Amino acid sequence: MAPNRDRGLSRRDFVTAAVAIGGTSALTACMQRERTKTEKTAIPTEQEQSASPEFPRGDLETIPTGQHRWGSFLVRDAHGNTVPPQQLVTIGLEYEGSVPPTDAEREQVERALETLERAFQWGTGGNAGAVFNRGLLFMLGYAPRYFEAMGQTPDSLTTPEGVLDAVGEDPAKADSYDAIVLLTSDIGSIVLSAEEALFGGLDEVNGVPVEATFEGVFSKAGRHTGLVGKGIPADELDEDRIPEDAPLSMGFKSGFRDNLPKEDAVTLSSGPFAGGTTIASSTLGIDLDRWYDQQSDERVAEMFCPAHSTDDVGPTGEKLGSDSGITEEDVDRIDADAKSHGCVGHTQKVALARDDEFEPRILRRTEGVATSQHHGTAFQFNAVQRTMEDFIETRKAMNPDEYDFDIPAENHGIVDYLETIRRGSYLAPPREKRALPVV
């Protein structure tokens, strides 16, 4: 990234491009651009970094036992909704270690992960008033194929091919990774630094020596990047009908408190990996042309339900505050809405998959515009749930063939505007078992 090629880019566009490209050169350029947000500053020497770290460092004693327990370490908006970090890097991994893993390999992986935890605070560091995430959040999950190689697969983990088949999609779109690591922060250089530290690209990260890496145990098999935040889709995508302040490309915010289960509800309560969770990792194509060819009231009805009006929701969903407004009565009215309005809503439909207490079964953990997709608009989506069956049931609720009524596909929530590019299923053990687990 030569300086004379980036002069026309905003700082955010430049950082986004650097995160999408990855590598040590992109990291160096990203760090320089982030430091020159307000003034030009030279990159500190290694000695200066050690004496005064660029970002707050972490404390292993304050990190939750569950890798997925991010809720208390995320920024919250004015309504109390959690706000996902802006930058996302999802790395698919190929396992190159021993079968079964050796104690030395497990120690190597654990030390590599602890390096990141020492180098960067866990998300906001638990600061309830934080407005910017200056730390790092991450998860390491293992695919069924990894556990199959080790001799036994956990009951909570369905193969990605099985997930795709169960929801009526093409099993050929299944991830072929042995494991996956999710890295997220509001700061591009943090996710890039974490990635480089894991794979041997740095000797020091935020002033902390890198004494162990994934080298010889895991290699990179794929990389998927994303970006989320108010105003980002309108700036990043070639679609001028996206609302200026929209945090996601389809125009509406997500993460309403009533749509997100408590972390305990998505945590394995028994078995060898009690305290862990499962990860559904997806990249989805979105047909924004057809979506925005509709009037705003049609988009509101299809995203939420026909009982919602544009005046109630607002351009991006901000008027709803902390609650999506979807009730059990809205769910009970699906058939009637299809008959009287000729459409049903996405949020209305997936609420059908909630549990007996009308609580959701999957927890959106990271999402955003896919910056690593080069053809069309796409969306990165990573959710956690107690078992992959919870994800399957929620995703099936989107399908038109789950319902008896017959309405046009484009009026059946948002599913007709989405196309699956890839899906993977992973188990994220609790922290004490995250380094090369076996059943």
Would you say 392 and 384 are in contact if contact means Cβ atoms under 8 Å apart? no
| pLDDT tens per residue across all 439 residues of the chain | 333 434 456 777 888 888 888 888 888 888 878 876 534 434 445 444 444 578 999 999 999 999 999 999 999 999 999 999 999 999 999 999 999 999 999 999 999 999 999 999 999 999 999 999 999 999 999 999 999 999 999 999 999 999 999 999 999 999 999 999 999 999 999 999 999 999 999 999 999 999 999 999 999 999 999 999 999 999 989 999 999 999 999 999 998 999 999 999 999 999 999 999 999 999 999 999 999 999 999 999 999 999 999 999 999 999 999 999 999 999 999 999 999 999 999 999 999 999 999 999 999 999 999 998 767 899 999 999 999 999 999 999 999 999 999 999 999 999 999 999 999 999 999 999 999 999 9
Tokens standing for residue 234? 């309108």
Task: Count CB atoms within 10 A of the CB of residue 146.
Answer: 23
Furthest C-alpha separation in the chain: 69
Length of the chain: 439
What pLDDT was estimated at residue 8?
Answer: 52
What pLDDT was estimated at residue 36?
Answer: 61
Residues paired with residue 69 on neighbouring β-strands, in sequence order: none
Structure-token match 């990635």, residue found: 195
What letter does residue 70 receive in the DSSP assignment? -
Write phi, then psi, for 317 (nearest 5 degrees): 95, 0
What pLDDT was estimated at residue 27?
Answer: 87
Instruction: Give residue 276's Cα distance to chain centre.
Output: 17
Say how many Å lie between the first and final Cα of the chain, rounded. 45
Going by C-alpha positions, the residue among 142, 130, 132, 134 that lies closest to residue 67 is 142
Class of residue 328 by CB neighbours under 10 A (exposed 0-12, middle 13-18, buried 19+): exposed
Please state whether the peptide bond connecting residue 100 to the residue before it is cis, i.e. omega within 30 degrees of 0.
Answer: yes
Pairing of strands 137-142, 87-95: unpaired
SS3 of the chain: helix, strand, coil, percent, to 5? 35, 20, 45
Residue 332's contacts (CB-CB under 8 Å, 6 or more residues apart) are none
Residues paired with residue 427 on neighbouring β-strands, in sequence order: 142, 278
What pLDDT was estimated at residue 52?
Answer: 54
Instruction: Give residue 42's Cα distance to chain centre.
Output: 33
Continuous segment of H or E residues that includes residue 165: helix 160-166
d(CA 189, CA 205): 11
Instruction: Give residue 225's Cα distance to chain centre.
Output: 10
The angle subtended at Cα 389 by Cα 268 and Cα 284, nearest 5°, is 110
d(CA 433, CA 419): 35
